[in-house]
Amino acid sequence: MRIIEDSQVLEALSSAIQKITYHCDPRITEQIGRALEQDPDEYARDVYQAILQNHQISATDQIPLCQDTGSTVIFAELGNEVLICGNTLQEIADQAAAQAAQSCPLRASIVSDPLFKRINSTNNSPAILHIQQVRGDRLKLCVTQKGGGAENMSFLTMFTPATPLEDIRESIIQSIIDTGSRACPPLVIGIGIGGNFERCAVLAKRALLEELGRANPIAEYADLERDILQELNSRGCGAQGMGGILTAIAVHILQEPCHIASLPIAVNIQCHVHRHIEVEL
């Protein structure tokens, strides 16, 4: 067994959260820069320029990319030959979120009770942690800050297996278009297909962390990703709902087996800030 001290995991997570607070995925910057050159819409170009300026100021002046510094979401791949010594991974994740909240600082965005008291935890914890055990002696941590505006626009539908593909495709596209400017487009779209009610939602969130613009390895799903992306960008919503050619930057699908009576599909929407990072120990 390989032993990893909890302090090592804490340092890696805290540093990762702080980095994505100020640094956007560089491929987002590239895509928006390309749209600025190609989009004939004057209002859209103004939005692109503001976004690109924000990327530069955030990185140089250490100001969060967005005032909604989001909830901390972590996908952990834990090798079966790894032992974390000390605190549990959930305890470490919570501590890292709190530590980063003090260092950056992050906006206190988490309430301890969701419905009644809604008292702020004051330190942006707890984090949301998903753990998958894999073979090997490594610990991989995929970290994201997920803002509330885009998360509120996400949705899940329990289709039946008899639903025509075209109806599914149109339902997804129109539901995203109907969010208008509320999710802060241009967007990254994660789609989870299969599993069950809760699993497809996890797949959709995890799909956001795929390499930006990668094609699904299965041709039919890659075609669906491309078709949804092209259609979203043809319907004129555009950056911040102001029109133009770029409503969505990427569409990623993750799929898993499901019950013969079910076809669950979840769509998790991410704003253009798209804060995420991967670290391995």
Chain segment 245-279, per-residue pLDDT in tens: 999 999 999 999 999 999 999 999 999 999 999 99
Whether the CB-CB separation of 104 and 64 falls below 8 Å is answered with yes
Angle at 73 between CA 68 and CA 74, to 5 degrees: 150
In this prediction, residue 41 carries a pLDDT of 94
Residue 218's pLDDT band, with cuts at 50, 70 and 90, is very high
Which of 273, 267, 263 is CA-nearest to residue 206?
267
Q: What is the pLDDT of residues 104-126, one digit of tens each?
A: 888 999 999 999 999 999 999 99
User: Do you find a cis peptide bond into 105, omega within 30 degrees of 0?
Assistant: yes
Output the average pLDDT for the chain. 96
Using one digit for the tens of pLDDT, what is the confidence trace for 23-82? 989 999 999 999 999 999 999 999 999 999 999 999 999 999 999 999 999 999 999 999
pLDDT at 217 over 90: yes
Taking residues 167-192, what's their average pLDDT? 97
Output DSSP code: residue 223: H
117 sits in which H/E element = none
**pLDDT of amino acid 105:** 82
Classify residue 183 by its DSSP letter. T
